[in-house]
A and B are shown apart, each in its own frame.
Chain A
């Protein structure tokens, strides 16, 4: 079992659809992160959860809604997305303290039609 698993790997959706991205970590970490990676910009941090509590929301539009039911699972609920939201969405986890690096999943490639 890999450390951080993201599903689905690829997702194509229309602008009016609702879908969810899932992330699961098997590393016993306490912190989980959502990042957006698009072609023209550096990796952008979206949300951070520590012990299931959201500690960072980096001015993300409300059409992205995160959920963290426990320290091992993180979801990103999507609705009414725009074409510019097409990107690779990466999940990471860490122990949440200094010197403990973030470990990444392989991402979900999202395409908005």
Chain B
């Protein structure tokens, strides 16, 4: 099955950019998702990218996909304290409806 790896923690200062990285093993993943989880809440869909794209921008969020290296990243520009949360990378299977989640990266934003 698919393996998805993320670093556990990232700490940045308010106003800086944050980059959260993810590696995966299944090259047939068609849609790759990023979710955000705040304390006491479920997972909120942030953005996703289709595998034939290498970049997608959505306001402060930029997703980069390197299919050759099976590497996905999420860049958050002008990071705010409200961005503090756990971020999950979730590649979908080739049908796109079954997801494998990474362990999550806890982002801490310091004022």
Task: Give me the interface of A with B, judged by CB distance under 8 Å.
Answer: 4, 6, 31, 41-43, 45, 48, 56, 90, 92, 94-107
> Which residues of chain B have C-beta atoms less than 8 A from A95's C-beta?
97
Is B40 close to A, CB under 8 A?
Answer: yes
Query: Is A43 a contact partner of B42 (Cβ separation < 8 A)?
Result: no
Query: Is B40 a contact partner of A31 (Cβ separation < 8 A)?
Result: no
> Which residues of chain B have C-beta atoms less than 8 A from A103's C-beta?
45
Interface range on chain B (Cβ under 8 Å from partner): 20 to 34
> Can you list 21 A-B pairs, Cβ within 8 angstroms, ordered by A?
A6-B42, A41-B103, A42-B101, A42-B102, A42-B103, A43-B88, A45-B98, A45-B99, A56-B98, A98-B31, A98-B92, A98-B96, A99-B31, A99-B96, A101-B45, A101-B48, A102-B33, A102-B99, A103-B45, A104-B45, A106-B42
* Chain A, residue nearest B46 (CB): A101
* Chain A, residue nearest B99 (CB): A102
Interface of A is mostly: loop
Q: Which one of A48, A97, A105 lies within 8 Å of B42 (CB-CB)?
A: A105
Within 8 A of A (CB), among B37-75: 40-45, 48, 50
Task: Give me the interface of B with A, judged by CB distance under 8 Å.
Answer: 4, 30-31, 33, 35, 40-45, 48, 50, 88, 92, 95-99, 101-104
> Which residues of chain A have C-beta atoms less than 8 A from B102's C-beta?
42
> Which residues of chain B have C-beta atoms less than 8 A from A104's C-beta?
35, 42-45
> Which residues of chain A have C-beta atoms less than 8 A from B35's C-beta?
104
Q: Which one of A4, A6, A97, A102 lies within 8 Å of B95 (CB-CB)?
A: A97
| Nearest 10 pairs of A and B residues by beta carbon | A98-B96, A104-B42, A43-B101, A104-B43, A106-B42, A42-B103, A101-B45, A107-B42, A96-B97, A105-B42
